[in-house]
C-alpha cells in the first residue's frame, strides 16, 4: 500500500516552469532557519510552500527567500546516504511530533483508549507511556464523552491534553463535549478559559472495515464554532500539524487517515511546524485547480499522472485546513486557472466539499469559467464488500473524467 503511494508521489512530474519554487518545503519555524530549506529539496514528492512563519508579513519574506534557494534542483540521483534528515513512516512522524512536544512542555499529556501500554491502535503513541509515565499517557476506560470532557476540564485548568479517539467514529460519542464544551466554552465564559486540546484519531474509509469504522466526521464537526480542523496527508505535514495543533491555544481536531499511516518520507532533523490555517500546494499547474485533502490527495496525484500524459496541467492543492479554509491559496489558484474540481472523501451531502463550493462561489464567482465540480463519496454507509466499497469513494478514473469535462 505504502509503495503505491510513494510511487505515485515520486512520479508526479513537476511543472516545467523554471521558477520551480515549490519543490522545497518552506515550513520552517523561524526565518532564521530558512537556509535549512535547501537540505530537504531532494525528495521527489512535490511539497507545499506552506510557510510556517506566523507573522503574515514575514510570510511573503519567506517566499522570497525560498524562491532564491529553490533553484537548487531536485536531483533524484542524489544518494540517500548523503541526504540529511531521517526517514519516517507517517505514524512515526506523528509520534515524533507528539514526543517532541511532550518533551518541550510538561503540561502536554495524552489520553485515550489503549494509548499507554498498548501504544495506540495505530502505534502513534508507542513507547510514550514507558518514557513519560502512566499519568501523562493515560489509558482511559471506554467512555469517550467523559474522557473527552475530562480532557477539556484539564485544559481549562492548565494542562494541554491530546485526546485520542481510537477511531474517529468513536468521537460521535463525545459530540456533546466537543460541541458544547470544546467549541463553545471559551466564548460562553467570556474568554476566561481556554481549551488548548488536540483531538485526533484515524478516520476515513479503510480496507473493508465496515460502515461504522469508515466514517468521516469532518462534515459533522465543521459547524461547531470555536474549533479548528486540520487533516494531515504526508509524514511531513502530519508531524508539523501535530506540533502546531499542540502549541495552538485553540481546540484543534486533527484528522488522520487509516490508510496513510505507513507512508514513508524523509523529514528534517530540525524543529518545524506546519501552519494550521494554510493549504499546501502539491503541484502547481495552469488548467484546473483540484482541491483535496487526506487520502484523496493520492488518488488525485495518481489521476494527475494520467492527465499530464493526456496533456492537461492540473494544479493540485491539499487544503489541509478543513476549518477555516485558506481562501488565499485557494483564491490565488482559482484566479489563475478559473476552473475548480473538489475531490474529497466526505459524503456528498453537507460535506467539506459542499462548504468549500459555497465559499468559493461566494468569494471568487467572477473568476470561474465553469461551475465548480465536487467529487465526493456516495451518500451510503460504507459497505463491507470490497467491490462496493471501492465505488463509494472517488477513484482516479473519475477524477480524470471530471477534469476532462471541466476543461472542455
Where does this chain bind another protein (CB under 8 A)?
A: 54, 56, 59, 106-107, 109, 133, 135-136, 140-141, 143, 145-159, 176-177, 180-181, 185-196, 225-226, 228, 248-250, 276-278, 321, 323-329, 331, 363-364
For residue 301, the surrounding DSSP H or E stretch is helix 296-309
Q: Shortest gap between Cβ of 334 and another protein (angstroms)?
A: 9
Judged by beta carbon, residue 195 or residue 407, the one nearer another protein is: 195
Q: Shortest gap between Cβ of 89 and another protein (angstroms)?
A: 29
C-alpha–C-alpha distance, residues 25 and 41, integer Å: 7
Q: In the annotation, is 144 catalytic?
A: yes
C-alpha–C-alpha distance, residues 316 and 314, integer Å: 6
Q: Are 20 and 52 in contact (CB under 8 A)?
A: no
Catalytic site residue from 96, 99, 186, 213: 213
Q: Shortest gap between Cβ of 218 and another protein (angstroms)?
A: 15
Q: In the annotation, is 328 catalytic?
A: no
Question: Which neighbouring-strand residues pair with 72?
Answer: none
Q: Shortest gap between Cβ of 140 and another protein (angstroms)?
A: 7
Judged by beta carbon, residue 209 or residue 244, the one nearer another protein is: 244
Catalytic site residue from 92, 99, 144, 278: 144
Judged by beta carbon, residue 10 or residue 135, the one nearer another protein is: 135
Neighbours of 312 (CB within 10 A): 19
Helices (H), 37-173: 56-69, 90-104, 128-132, 144-156
Who's near 189: CB < 8 A, 6+ residues apart?
A: none
Judged by beta carbon, residue 188 or residue 349, the one nearer another protein is: 188
Judged by beta carbon, residue 25 or residue 329, the one nearer another protein is: 329
C-alpha–C-alpha distance, residues 255 and 267, integer Å: 20
C-alpha–C-alpha distance, residues 287 and 292, integer Å: 16
- Buried b vs exposed e over 96-116: b needs ≥16 C-beta within 10 Å? bbbbbbbeeeeebbbbbbebb
Q: Shortest gap between Cβ of 79 and another protein (angstroms)?
A: 39
Q: Catalytic amino acids?
A: 144, 213
Amino acid at each position: 500500500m505504502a509503495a503505491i503511494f510513494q510511487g505515485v508521489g515520486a512520479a508526479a512530474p513537476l511543472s516545467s516552469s523554471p521558477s520551480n519554487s515549490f519543490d522545497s518545503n518552506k515550513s520552517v519555524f523561524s526565518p532564521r532557519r530558512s537556509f535549512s530549506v535547501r537540505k530537504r529539496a531532494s525528495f521527489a514528492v512535490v511539497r507545499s510552500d506552506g510557510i510556517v512563519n506566523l507573522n503574515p508579513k514575514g510570510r511573503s519574506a519567506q517566499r522570497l527567500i525560498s524562491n532564491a534557494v529553490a533553484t537548487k534542483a531536485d536531483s533524484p540521483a542524489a544518494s540517500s546516504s548523503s541526504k540529511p534528515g531521517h526517514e519516517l513512516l507517517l505514524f512515526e512522524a506523528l509520534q515524533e511530533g507528539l514526543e517532541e512536544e511532550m518533551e518541550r512542555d510538561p503540561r502536554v499529556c495524552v489520553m485515550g483508549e489503549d494509548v499507554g501500554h498498548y501504544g495506540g491502535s495505530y502505534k502513534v503513541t508507542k513507547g510514550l507511556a514507558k518514557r513519560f509515565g502512566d499519568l501523562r499517557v493515560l489509558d482511559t476506560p471506554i467512555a469517550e464523552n467523559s474522557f473527552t470532557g475530562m480532557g477539556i476540564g484539564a485544559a481549562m485548568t492548565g494542562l494541554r491534553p491530546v485526546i485520542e479517539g481510537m477511531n474517529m467514529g468513536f468521537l460521535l460519542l463525545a459530540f456533546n463535549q466537543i460541541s458544547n464544551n470544546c467549541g463553545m466554552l471559551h466564548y460562553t465564559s467570556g474568554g476566561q478559559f481556554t481549551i488548548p486540546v488536540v483531538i485526533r484519531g484515524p478516520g476515513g474509509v479503510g480496507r473493508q472495515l465496515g460502515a461504522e469504522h469508515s466514517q468521516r466526521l469532518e462534515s459533522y464537526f465543521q459547524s461547531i464554532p470555536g474549533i479548528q480542523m486540520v487533516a494531515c496527508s504526508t509524514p511531513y505535514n502530519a508531524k508539523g500539524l501535530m506540533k502546531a495543533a499542540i502549541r495552538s491555544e485553540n481546540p484543534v481536531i486533527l484528522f488522520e487517515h487509516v490508510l496513510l499511516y505507513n507512508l514513508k518520507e524523509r523529514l528534517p532533523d530540525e524543529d518545524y511546524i506546519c501552519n494550521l490555517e494554510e493549504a499546501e500546494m502539491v503541484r502547481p499547474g495552469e488548467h484546473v485547480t483540484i482541491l483535496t485533502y487526506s487520502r484523496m490527495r493520492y488518488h488525485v496525484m495518481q489521476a494527475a499522472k494520467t492527465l499530464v500524459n493526456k496533456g492537461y496541467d492540473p494544479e493540485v492543492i491539499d487544503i489541509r485546513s478543513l476549518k477555516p479554509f485558506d481562501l488565499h491559496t485557494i483564491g490565488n489558484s482559482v484566479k489563475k486557472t478559473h476552473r475548480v474540481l473538489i475531490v474529497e472523501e466526505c459524503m456528498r451531502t453537507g460535506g467539506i466539499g459542499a462548504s468549500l463550493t459555497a465559499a468559493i462561489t461566494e468569494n471568487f464567482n467572477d473568476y470561474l469559467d465553469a461551475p465548480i465540480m465536487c467529487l465526493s463519496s456516495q451518500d451510503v454507509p460504507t459497505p463491507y464488500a470490497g467491490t462496493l466499497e471501492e465505488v463509494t469513494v472517488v477513484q482516479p478514473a473519475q477524477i480524470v473524467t471530471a477534469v476532462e469535462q471541466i476543461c472542455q
